Amino acid sequence: MSHNPLGQQTEYISEYAPHLLFPIARSESRKQLGIGTSLPFFGVDIWTGYELSWLDKSGKPVVAVAEFTIPCDSECIIESKSFKLYLNSFNQARFNNVDEVRAIIIEDLSRAAKTDVGVQILPLLSVRGNNYLEGIAQPDAVQLDDLNVVIDTYHPAPELLKVGVVLVEETLASHLLKTNCPVTGQPDWASVFIRYKGNKIVHENLLRYLISFREHQDFHEHCVERIFCDLLRVCKPEYLSVYARYTRRGGLDINPFRSTDAQEKPAGIRLIRQ
């Protein structure tokens, strides 16, 4: 981590520079959760890049939005500032077409994450008819944020979680999740969606638990895995998924999804803050 560009003064390079990508092993954080090589979840980390640009062969800029999908069983995550610096390095580089850019990014990200990474690039002139880029969505979920709760802790407190005896299947949502960068301490804001089947989770207690992350410092992916593991351990649902949509910083948002169902795919949505 001493070589991590996050929190350091950095020169922005505008010529293609794949060496800027800084991988971080997932294993260290997972050890703190008691997770070994056998993961208790499936899922992906979905990154959206809103500031991707390069030059075509005539020197004319192309601007695009990109989506990057990193499987949660990859050996490494990619540190977000290094990811931004890497994408900025395309700004003055020339490429033949969007397919060439996509192939290069797939190769670079897959090498850094040590897994096969999915990349979709949408030049802005091609977005007509693309629901993801055209509209803001709000998943159908029970909103927790208007509940009257008393908050007295701002560090993760799984002991707050409680369940009843009634069996339910529901999706719950809160826009009050805030965590903090473990290097700079800067705030990270997110909406979180929890879908489960099992004994009914007491909504007020769940909201208090989610708010308890407000002073917690960790990367987005690790925070979602902590929430997932706490819910799985304490509430013991038959099925569980946790999906956080973080707001963007430096043109990138990170949206981790974890589920007990290997076949489930997260909804491709954009929220009002994205």
- Closest to 190 measured CA to CA, from 151, 227, 159: 227
The backbone region for 272, taken as left when phi is positive above 0, alpha when psi lies in -120 to 50, beta otherwise, is alpha
Q: How far apart are the first and last CA of the chain?
A: 29
Q: Which of 108, 188, 218, 253 is catalytic?
A: 188
CA–CA distance, 68 with 255 (Å, rounded to integer): 10
Q: Which amino acid is at 153?
A: T
Q: Are the C-beta atoms of 55 and 98 separated by less than 8 Å?
A: no
45 is known as an active-site residue: no
Integer CA distances (angstroms), 104 to 82, 90, 98, in order: 16, 11, 10
Q: Which of 45, 72, 108, 181 is catalytic?
A: 181
- Token reading at 223: 């925070």
99 is known as an active-site residue: no
Segment 129-136 long-range contacts (CB within 8 Å, at least 24 positions apart): 131/268, 132/67, 132/268, 132/269, 132/270, 133/65, 133/270, 135/270, 136/270, 136/271, 136/272, 136/274
How many CA atoms lie less than 13 Å away from 217 in the CB half-sphere?
Answer: 6
Catalytic residue ranges: 181, 188
